[in-house]
Amino acid sequence: MSSIARGSANLLLLAEILEVADAIHRAAGEPTYNQSIHEHDCGTPACALAHWYAYKGTTWLDAAVGEDLEEFAVTPSESLELFGARGCGDARTAQQAATYLRSFVVKRVRAAGAHASAPTSDQLETDAALLDASWRWL
């Protein structure tokens, strides 16, 4: 799987994580999504990246500088767009952030399709799951 395909799959997974975590936080009476901080005073993750690292069993403090660039196959400016204090289009809820992440992936897939040569059968086979997940959000 290409790095863009893997990064896009990770972004789609993060969108799902945000939605599920939000429901769990609400049911437990815990604070919910807040992109402007990494974690709440109670220790629960607040922002998108903190949720990602919690899913991985670590914290954002343990992450290597630029790790998000590799895991999500994004540029530094895209990382800021997605994960900065006003990331995901200044999302105020987990649902808004999840929607933004999915839209980002769709734009990425469309752009890659517009600039790519015809894919090989191996590329089609390895990227099929990502494409299926991405296109359902069109």
Instruction: List, for residues 17-31, the tens digit of each pLDDT value.
Output: 999 999 999 999 999
pTM: 0.78
Confidence label for 1 from pLDDT (cuts 50, 70 and 90): low
Q: Which of 52, 64, 68, 57 is nearest to 20 (CA)?
A: 52
- What's residue 26's pLDDT? 93
CA distance 23 to 32: 9
Instruction: List, for residues 79-95, the tens digit of each pLDDT value.
Output: 999 999 999 999 999 99
Instruction: List, for residues 42-55, the tens digit of each pLDDT value.
Output: 888 899 999 999 99
Query: Which residues make beta-bridge pairs with 45?
Result: 39
pLDDT tops 80 at residue 110? yes
pLDDT tops 70 at residue 74? yes
